[in-house]
Amino acid sequence: MKLATSQKIILDQLKRYGPQSVKVLAKRLNMTTMGIRQHLQDLQHNELVTTTTEARQTRGRPLHLWRLTAEGHDQFPARHQELNLELLSAIREELGESALIKLVATQSDRTAEHYQKLLSGIDDFEHRLTALADIRTKDGFMAEVRLLPDQSWLLIENHCPVCSAAKQCRHYCDYELILFKRLLGDTVKIYRTEYLLEGNRRCAYKISKPT
């Protein structure tokens, strides 16, 4: 399916920031509302986006928001072949859960070693966290970091390229948290605040340095 550049950008915005109105999209992308509507209608025709309604806090008509469909999410890269879902299933059936955990742990160790090399020499905590998000983005996770009012950070992953494998084997999610702790330090507090597999649209981790 060939999409116009503007349509790809709209899909990216909906992936990163969740459901949005025509007005918000137009403002973000510096386009006319008419142009946004036309692109959204084309994307809807291709079953990549759909509309949802949200009640306003004040009086007035409900707010119409646009969001990605399952097909829309599938437009973003996934590493299904690399992880090989059939292989995961076979390992669990033939060798047991412990063998599957060992496989995931080994993959996590290799990822940690690779990331440590890329982060070598970056000692400042905020710079290291930002660099980690950049690395995750290059690996397909569409990651970003936000500073929160309480001076903690939120590490957000707007896309999960291993989502299909994680649904079958949640040890991938467990070891993602372990990976971040290894890279940022044992004294750093990290916990998951949003979880894609529990109905959120993304995964997010709140990260706090010890005082």
Q: How far apart are CA 88 and CA 90, in angstroms?
A: 5
Structural domain boundaries, residue 84: 80-208
**Do 94 and 191 reside in the same domain of the chain?**
yes
How many domains does the chain fold into? 2
Contacts 24+ apart (CB under 8 A), 141-147: 142/15, 142/16, 142/76, 144/16
**Do 88 and 49 reside in the same domain of the chain?**
no
Residue 59 belongs to domain with CATH number? 1.10.10.10
**Do 103 and 62 reside in the same domain of the chain?**
no
If 0-12 CB within 10 Å is exposed, 13-18 middle and 19+ buried, where does residue 127 land? exposed
Q: Which helix (H) or strand (E) holds 147?
A: strand 143-147
Single residue among 38, 73, 108 that ends a domain in this structure: 73
Per residue in 153-175, pLDDT (tens digit) is: 999 999 999 898 899 899 999 99
Please say whether the beta carbons of 18 and 79 come within 8 A: no
**Do 27 and 48 reside in the same domain of the chain?**
yes
pLDDT tens sequence for the chain (211 residues) = 788 888 999 998 999 888 999 999 999 898 999 999 999 999 999 999 999 887 665 666 778 899 999 889 888 877 655 557 777 888 888 889 999 999 899 999 999 999 999 999 999 999 999 999 999 999 999 999 999 999 999 999 999 998 988 998 999 999 999 999 999 998 999 999 999 999 999 999 999 987 6
